[in-house]
Amino acid sequence: MDPTTTDVVFLGSGAFGLPTLEHLARAHNVSAIVTQPDRPAGRGSKLTPTPIAAWASEHLPGVPILKPEHIADPGVIEQIRAAPAHAWIIVAYGQKLPRALLADRFAFNLHASLLPRWRGAAPINHAILAGDTQTGNSIITIADRMDAGSVLAQSHRAIGPSMTAGELHDLLASDGPELVERVLEQHARGEVRSAEQDASLVTHAKKLSSADAWVDFREVADVCRRRINALSPWPGVRVELGDEALKLFRAQAGASRPESDPGEPGDIVDAAQGLVVCAGGSTLRLLEVQPPGKRRMAWTDFARGRKGLEGARLGSRGIRP
């Protein structure tokens, strides 16, 4: 056996962990996978496995895939702890892990932010919402409080002005394997170093819902831009164009309007370019949109051949045409 090969248990559910699991399957021995139970999904509410379970069932035949409803159940804990492993790796698992499960195990979590900034369920979205220009991944130990463990390693990523949460998610996910491998190698050499998080710098990233799918054009253009990009692809910002409901998926800041004709919030002042007035006469350029019943498309494709866009007003969050 390669001396750098490690037996690992992988705990994860969301697609964010897929690149890391794929790497572990190539470079190490995955002795067990723990993921969330199958849940109803789609129009038919068909029971659907997590992305991790679906990939593992196809690519890792013979590896146990455990789907406990409650990971804190004593029988479940005993079953998982029976799997031989030098390290337990947790990535977007979705349940709080009990102390009894991790006792005397080397376990760490991959989290999509530069902790202590953005502890919580939606760190990628909140980094964009807040206007952060840089984020990254953190590998941390497991603590009683969410994402409060000691930091073992971090990686960094720039956030571009028109980058969406979906794009940033995929970039950070692709950075996970290298960071995880670094910590595994340090552990094999007995060189793992940890740093406590600075409690005075903690920020929280609350879970988002469909109720957050709004944008207020009474805010300045940069705030509107960040909200649209942060909520793309889910839940997607909803606006009204007359009687038509649209979803907005990408935007960038535009130029300022003249003081003599600033326009009203939500006014479309250049239909071809997708320029919409925000607070103070600043403009927002809409780049991607989805009309009802149609695919997501570039604003230029949406606007081509449509009459009456120039001078129309987009309504959202209490603003109506």
User: 191 and 63 share a domain?
Assistant: yes
User: In residues, how long is the chain?
Assistant: 321
- In angstroms, the CA 14 to CA 94 distance is 8
Reported as type and span, the H/E element at residue 302 is helix 299-303
Q: Would you state the pLDDT for residue 3?
A: 45
Tokens of 294: 């149609």
* 267 beta partners: 313
Where a domain ends, among 205, 225, 247? 205
The verdict on residue 297 lying in a domain is: yes
Q: Would you state the pLDDT for residue 282?
A: 93
The verdict on residue 139 lying in a domain is: yes
The verdict on residue 32 lying in a domain is: yes
Q: Would you state the pLDDT for residue 317?
A: 57
Where a domain ends, among 185, 205, 225? 205
CATH code of the domain in which 110 resides: 3.40.50.170
- In angstroms, the CA 148 to CA 90 distance is 14
Q: Is 193 exposed, middle or buried (0-12, 13-18, 19+ CB in 10 A)?
A: exposed
Tokens of 94: 């979705």
Tell which wins on pLDDT, 296 or 4.
296
- In angstroms, the CA 165 to CA 93 distance is 19
User: 99 and 140 share a domain?
Assistant: yes
Q: Are strands 7-12 and 29-34 parallel, antiparallel or unpaired?
A: parallel
User: 60 and 191 share a domain?
Assistant: yes
Count structural domains, the chain: 2
User: 229 and 295 share a domain?
Assistant: yes
User: 250 and 280 share a domain?
Assistant: yes
pLDDT at 250 over 50: yes
Reduced to 3 states (helix: H, G, I; strand: E, B; else coil), residue 100 is helix
- In angstroms, the CA 141 to CA 143 distance is 6
Average pLDDT over residues 21-44: 95
The verdict on residue 2 lying in a domain is: no
pLDDT band at 298 (very low <50, low <70, confident <90, very high): very high
CATH code of the domain in which 305 resides: 3.10.25.10
pLDDT at 16 over 60: yes
User: 172 and 216 share a domain?
Assistant: no
pLDDT at 4 over 90: no
Where a domain ends, among 205, 224, 250? 205
Count of CA atoms in the C-beta half-sphere (13 A) of 119: 19
Q: Would you state the pLDDT for residue 318?
A: 46
The string of pLDDT tens digits covering residues 189-239 is: 999 999 999 999 999 999 999 999 999 999 999 999 999 999 999 999 999
User: 186 and 232 share a domain?
Assistant: no
Count of CA atoms in the C-beta half-sphere (13 A) of 44: 3
User: 150 and 286 share a domain?
Assistant: no
Lowest-pLDDT range of 42-46, 176-180, 214-218, 299-303 = 42-46
User: 175 and 310 share a domain?
Assistant: no
Mean pLDDT for the chain? Answer: 94
The verdict on residue 187 lying in a domain is: yes
The verdict on residue 1 lying in a domain is: no
Are residues 140 and 152 in contact, defined by beta-carbon separation less than 8 angstroms?
Answer: yes
Reduced to 3 states (helix: H, G, I; strand: E, B; else coil), residue 23 is helix
pTM equals 0.95
Q: Residues 6 or more apart from 284 whose CB is under 8 A from it?
A: 217, 221, 224, 225, 228, 251, 252, 253, 254, 275, 276, 277, 278
User: 156 and 14 share a domain?
Assistant: yes
Tokens of 18: 């897929």
Range of the domain at 81: 7-205
Q: Would you state the pLDDT for residue 1?
A: 35
User: 216 and 171 share a domain?
Assistant: no
User: 174 and 216 share a domain?
Assistant: no
